[in-house]
Amino acid sequence: MPFGKYQDRVIADLPGHYLGWFARTGFPKGELGGLLALMYELDHNNLRSLLDPLRPAGN
């Protein structure tokens, strides 16, 4: 995340309440907004585990 309270955190590791806040107030424009919207959908539908194969081993 390039800004805000969770700056420097991986988008896949953002908490659901923060993603929900974006969903209510509006996602940023551009690629970042698209990635946040996708992550919101994954979190909202309890599909975060789909990202597990993409994580480095041991995380």
Q: What is the pLDDT of residue 57?
A: 82
Q: Which two tokens stand for residue 6?
A: 């969770």
Q: 1-59 pLDDT, tens per residue?
A: 999 999 999 999 999 999 999 999 999 999 999 999 999 999 999 999 999 999 888 76
Is residue 49 classed exposed, middle or buried when 0-12, 13-18 and 19+ CB atoms within 10 A define those classes? Answer: exposed
Q: What is the pTM of this model?
A: 0.88
pLDDT value of residue 56 = 87
